[in-house]
Amino acid sequence: MLQRKAHGLKPTRKLSKDLLKVIVVEFKLVYEEELCSGCGNCVIACPINMSLDERVLGGKGGGSELRITNGIAKVEIKLCNGCGLCVEACSFNALKLELKEPKLMKRMENIFEEVKEEKKEITLETKEIKYDINEKLLQNLDIASESLSTGVLRRILEEEQKITSLEIRSLIEAFEKHGNVFGILDEYIIARNFCSFCGACVSACPEEAIEIVDATPRLIKECTNCAACMLRCPKTALVPDLERRIFGEVSLDKYLGFYKKALSARSAKKEILLATQEGGVATSLLVYALEKGIIDCAIVTKGDGKKTYPIIATSAEEIISAAEIKFTISPNASLLREAVKRGYRKIAVVAAPCQVIAFRKFQLLGFNEIKLILGVFCPRGSHYIKGTPAACLLCNDFTAELSDISLGSIGSPRGWRSLLIRSEIGEELVNEAIKLGYLQANDLSDEDIKVIAKVSKRKKETAKKNREELFSKYETFEKAVKLLGSLNVRYLSEDVEVEYLKHLNEV
């Protein structure tokens, strides 16, 4: 419980000694974490955190009474005065302010009764003061106040966020144009064919207002502007330094990313080998994890060679039924929220590289139910309705570099799978699966690893070429930023980001 002291009163001739006692007003700020969506409305609303004009200019600093860390509100009430603005701003009733009647309220009444004879009426002259304020600034502040009152720009208050003032203005303009945050995602990502159909926005929305309709994310209910969809979309740059935050370091291997060990493996279970001709490594790992209680379900892909769809597998039989490899896009991330609604709290996922990024964003923003991420090698995705989206043509991740374990056929003989084990969780899982007879494995040779790196290099070079061709369509760099959206400019290329940040320093 937080206690705050009111200002003391100056003693007068007839003032009782009781006036010298401090009146304590007690209040309690109650935070219910399970109701919090991490939208950041409270962070923006708190007057102690930072002044509005400073935030509009992209400033950082101020107080830290309310912050969003890993997708969860952190409440520090050292300076809180109990104004209640954060409570009013919360769309999900995660914050409540409980006030207690001051213990000395009755004593106050006695004190005022004692000194009432000294009451004097004082008339003050009023004077109207006008200030000349730049009208353009006022207009910008009005626009900013609307968008800042949502969760869309809360990332500027995060310590590790590198968002710039130009990006902030771009977001504000897009918000003003569309009237909601999903409109920004639609303009920047979906309408430009940068969407990879991963389904992350569907699971991210706390209001269940987004559905995939005809292979396209659509808003089906009112948007509450929490920005959860934008933050978790794998094609926005709002969650920085993913590799360092996941693995604790940044890999020097520019083609394969960070990994601890490289193996060639296949299933040691006869029933799994009979169900697939492709080694059954992912299937065996999932079955082992399920039978040992490491996970309680797995989001996997089913379907034929053309049309695929995700399922929540809760038994070894269901996992084995989805064993065949599919090369078409499936919105696996769209089932995350459904899995939690069904009561599952230890979820494994099998995902393409773009989906792996989305799942990692979920984890970093507080979604702790994801326990294992298996990433598959992906030369290029396609969809049975929309073909190959621009997102796939611009993607430079072949080996799912942010997964716990990456798997693919390149580098291994037929019927076996190459494994790049990246995390401690992945390493422990593979070691135990081998030890208990679920897998058989050998070390990959340096030559085998070079083969994987060669294919990865080719995909990265192709993606870079496609990005350069895309940018060549715009007359100026400023026009590319304006039409593509500044977040896309960051996402599209590291080289472009360097140029982008250099440009900001020149204007």
Q: List pLDDT tens digits, range 298-339.
A: 999 988 767 889 999 999 999 999 887 666 788 999 999 999
In the listed set 454, 472, 501, which residue is the last one of a domain according to the structure? Answer: 454
In a domain, 378, yes or no: yes
Q: Which residue from 53, 59, 60 is spatially nearest to 136, judged by alpha carbons?
A: 53
**Mean per-residue pLDDT, 238-259:** 87
In a domain, 206, yes or no: no
pTM beyond cutoff 0.85:
no
Whole-number Å distance between alpha carbons of 339 and 345: 8
> 82 in the Ramachandran plot: left (φ > 0), alpha (ψ -120 to 50) or beta?
left
Paired sense of beta strands 66-69 and 210-213, if any: unpaired
The secondary structure of 77-134 as a DSSP string is -SS-----HHHHH-TT--EEEEE---TTHHHHHHHHHHHGGG----------------
Q: What is the pLDDT of residue 255?
A: 93
Strand partners, 142: none
Listed in sequence order, the residues at least 6 apart from 75 whose beta carbon sits closer than 8 Å to its beta carbon are 29, 31, 65, 66
Q: Which residue from 92, 93, 245 is spatially nearest to 158, judged by alpha carbons?
A: 245
In a domain, 233, yes or no: no
Whole-number Å distance between alpha carbons of 192 and 360: 24
Verify that 277 and 414 share a domain, yes or no: yes
Paired sense of beta strands 417-421 and 405-408, if any: antiparallel
The domain of 90 spans: 2-118
Verify that 108 and 251 share a domain, yes or no: no
CATH number at residue 60: 3.30.70.20
- Residue-wise pLDDT tens digits, 171-202: 777 777 888 889 988 988 898 888 989 999 99
In a domain, 236, yes or no: no
C-alpha dihedral, 37 to 39 to 42 to 46, nearest 10°: 150
In a domain, 209, yes or no: no
User: Whose structure tokens read 């693995």?
Assistant: 247
**Is residue 377 within 8 Å of residue 406, measured between CB atoms?**
yes
- Residue-wise pLDDT tens digits, 60-104: 444 455 665 655 666 666 667 777 878 887 877 888 887 765 555
Is the confidence at residue 493, as pLDDT, over 60?
no
Whole-number Å distance between alpha carbons of 308 and 327: 9
Whole-number Å distance between alpha carbons of 34 and 194: 32
The DSSP letter of residue 410 is T
**Is residue 376 within 8 Å of residue 420, measured between CB atoms?**
no
**Mean per-residue pLDDT, 473-480:** 67
The secondary structure of 251-269 as a DSSP string is -S-TTT-S-SEEEEEEE--
C-alpha dihedral, 279 to 281 to 282 to 286, nearest 10°: 130
Whole-number Å distance between alpha carbons of 399 and 386: 24
In the listed set 118, 151, 170, which residue is the last one of a domain according to the structure? Answer: 118
Confidence band for 401, pLDDT divided at 50, 70 and 90: very high
In a domain, 73, yes or no: yes
In a domain, 140, yes or no: no
CATH number at residue 397: 3.40.640
Q: What is the pLDDT of residue 314?
A: 96
Percent of the chain at pLDDT > 70 equals: 63
Average pLDDT score, the chain: 77
> 505 in the Ramachandran plot: left (φ > 0), alpha (ψ -120 to 50) or beta?
alpha
Strand partners, 212: 217
Whole-number Å distance between alpha carbons of 164 and 288: 46
- Residue-wise pLDDT tens digits, 364-374: 888 899 999 99
More confident residue, 465 or 72: 465
Verify that 111 and 251 share a domain, yes or no: no
Confidence band for 482, pLDDT divided at 50, 70 and 90: low
Strand partners, 15: none
The secondary structure of 268-335 as a DSSP string is --HHHHHH-SS--HHHHHHHHHHHTTS-SEEEEEEE-SS-EEEEEE-SHHHHHHT-S---B---GGGG
**Mean per-residue pLDDT, 7-21:** 39
Strand partners, 2: 27
> 60 in the Ramachandran plot: left (φ > 0), alpha (ψ -120 to 50) or beta?
beta
Backbone angles phi, psi at 318, to 5 degrees: -65, -40
User: Whose structure tokens read 């299933």?
Assistant: 267
Paired sense of beta strands 405-408 and 370-376, if any: parallel
Q: What is the pLDDT of residue 57?
A: 40
In the listed set 63, 85, 118, which residue is the last one of a domain according to the structure? Answer: 118
In a domain, 329, yes or no: yes
**Is residue 328 within 8 Å of residue 308, measured between CB atoms?**
yes
**Mean per-residue pLDDT, 37-64:** 56
Of the listed ranges 264-268, 380-384, 388-392, the least confidently predicted one is: 380-384
Number of domains in the chain: 2
**Is residue 210 within 8 Å of residue 217, measured between CB atoms?**
yes
Using a CB cutoff of 8 Å and minimum separation of 24, what contacts does 79-84 make? 79/48, 80/2, 80/4, 80/29, 80/48, 81/4, 81/48, 82/2, 82/4, 82/25, 82/27, 82/29, 83/47
